[in-house]
Amino acid sequence: MLSYARGPELAPIEKTIGQVLDDTSARFPDGDALVSRHQGLRLSYRQLREEVSRTARGLWGMGIRPGDRIGMWSTNCAEWIYLQAAVSRIGAILVNVNPAFRAQDLRYVLERSRVRLLFLREKDARANYVEVLEEARRGHNLPLESTVLLGGEQWERMLACGVDFPAVPVTPQEVVNIQYTSGTTGSPKGVLLTNRNLVNDGLFIGQRLKASGRDRICTPVPLYHCFGCVIGAMVALTSGAALVLPAAQFDALAVLEAVEEERCTALYGVPTMFIAEFEHPRFARFDLSSLRTGVMAGAPCPIELMRRVVHEMHCSELTICYGQTESSPVIVMSATDDSVETRVTTVGSPLPDTEIRLADLETGQTVPVGEQGELCVRGFAVMKGYDENPEATARAIDAEGWLHSGDLATMRPDGYFRITGRAKDMISRGGEKVYPLEVEEFLRRHPNISDVYVFGIPDERLGERVAAWVRLRSRDSVEPEAIRNFCRGQIAYFKIPEHVRFVDAFPMTANGKVQKYLMRSFEVQALGLEAATETA
């Protein structure tokens, strides 16, 4: 039996984001659609539809036409949702701009994406965005023509000057969104996503969650990332659930307060967010009993953490989603009625209209069940390509339409998958292959380890050695040797970290992905391994 599985035979719907909003507004006109707590805003689906229509008229009044690109450079806010749906009404394209970007990053995205109009806030606790933009533009002739500041006079003026626009023949197959890959390695690439990609990913995820108009989804993950704007916003828009934004950016206390006060039934987050919520000193005081389900995704999900969320947060139907930006993002997902053991040890099975196979890294052939291979996907969720980068597109999507994820996985006979690591993260120590995720999952069993990440550092003799950055619950006389002793006799000697560094935090992208290449670079400099880097 080969490692190949196909999701249920359920045809994708052929609608745009705007059409889906119209449908859902007709079904649930008075139901809560959007609650932005930090903005003091609560909108029904009827009101949300009107705000989206006003935004679309405002964009048209500013000269935005089909095919034009507009940028949204902001933390979470209601305007994010307005723009996401409004662009689909007029055939424009929304470019997600990471609010963590500074001048060089911003310049790169604005140049590559050809954004004509950029929405941004003047400033927040992170940065003065107007000053960052000025620095990005200094000495460079960017295609950016105009900007609109959110939450003030400029936004209101845009809405006031809006004009009616003719019927625009927008099709589901047209690109509606460009998301830039996180850039953890190399230069970010613009992922072209269509209405069909995003609508159906949201629809099928919502079906796995059993989402309905009775649900209230607490979404602390960033909207600029596919976790927020698809697993969050599109699940709500296709199911009629309420989207609850607890704060502009992640704040553990704000999340706990939102769940209790809004009686949220679903909670989203990357693993580090759930860890922060558990570690908040007031965690035990909150009533989280309204929770039913949720999604943990965006990074490898520690098994013990999953179990804690299921039992201590009352998320009995918690699910795991797996995918990447290039696949809209979700391609496999657990079901709410899967056993807890299945939900904590796999990432689920394929969504409808989705094929998955595991390919041998050397031959490209589909590997037998139980063997490790690169996860490849084909179906509705696969991106249209990378923006103006046909070479990179051809490397990612082969001639048969398979998107190569770069992730390693195994498949069970029942078609459920387990992610075993990144092909690029594999450590080669003296000819032995070490997969960091396996070691990380073992180390997280240590009673005093809060979180841990494993990676390779160069070694002139062995090629690479295993290193670990460890965050402890308590620093009471714990030494690196104690961590190694915990491993001895439990895992193979060549998997035991030879270098351990205790840290308080890990370098991460704004959407919660750990940047192991920065850890490796730090260790190369700190340990004086530059010469070994040249020979490794």
Q: Are 387 and 321 in contact (CB under 8 A)?
A: no
Q: What is the pLDDT along the chain (536 residues), one digit of tens a residue?
A: 999 999 999 999 999 999 999 999 999 999 999 999 999 999 999 999 999 999 999 999 999 999 999 999 999 999 999 999 999 999 999 999 999 889 988 999 999 999 999 999 999 988 999 999 999 999 999 999 999 999 999 999 999 999 999 999 999 999 999 999 864 445 789 999 999 999 999 999 999 999 999 999 999 999 999 999 999 999 999 999 999 999 999 999 999 999 999 999 999 998 889 999 999 999 999 999 999 999 999 776 777 888 899 999 999 999 999 999 999 999 999 999 999 889 888 999 999 999 999 999 999 999 999 999 999 999 999 999 999 999 999 999 999 999 999 999 999 999 999 988 888 888 988 878 788 988 998 999 999 999 999 999 998 888 899 999 999 998 777 899 999 999 998 988 889 999 999 999 999 876 677 889 899 999 999 999 987 765 44
DSSP code, position 255 = H
| b/e 337-352 (16+ beta carbons within 10 angstroms → b) | ebeeebbbbbbbbbbb
Looking at domain 426-535, which of 3.40.50.2300, 3.30.300.30, 3.30.300.180, 3.40.50.10800 is its CATH number?
3.30.300.30
- Closest listed residue to residue 176, CA positions, set 305, 300, 378, 16: 16
- Rounded to whole angstroms, how far apart are CA atoms 69 and 79? 17
Residue intervals of the chain classified under CATH 3.40.50.980 are 17-30+40-170
479: CB partners within 8 A, 6+ apart: none
Strands 32-36 and 69-73 turn out to be unpaired
- Contacts of 363-369 spanning 24+ positions with Cβ under 8 A: 366/2, 366/3, 366/4, 367/2, 367/3, 368/1, 368/2, 368/3, 369/1, 369/2, 369/3, 369/411, 369/412, 369/413
Strand locations in 182-255, DSSP E?
Answer: 190-194, 216-218, 242-245
Q: What is the pLDDT of residue 184?
A: 41
> Hey, is 2 helix, strand or coil?
strand
Strand locations in 473-533, DSSP E?
Answer: 499-502
Unique residue bearing structure tokens 């009352």: 314
First and final C-alpha spacing in the chain: 38
Per the DSSP assignment, residues forming a β-bridge with 501 are 469
Q: What is the pLDDT of residue 509?
A: 77
Q: Are 356 and 417 in contact (CB under 8 A)?
A: yes
Residue intervals of the chain classified under CATH 3.30.300.30 are 426-535
Q: What is the pLDDT of residue 114?
A: 97
Torsion sign, CA atoms 23, 27, 29, 33: negative
Q: What is the pLDDT of residue 186?
A: 54
- Rounded to whole angstroms, how far apart are CA atoms 93 and 112? 14
Looking at domain 17-30+40-170, which of 1.10.760.10, 3.40.50.980, 2.60.40.420, 2.40.10.120 is its CATH number?
3.40.50.980
148: CB partners within 8 A, 6+ apart: 62, 117, 118, 119, 120, 154, 155, 158
Q: What is the pLDDT of residue 100?
A: 86
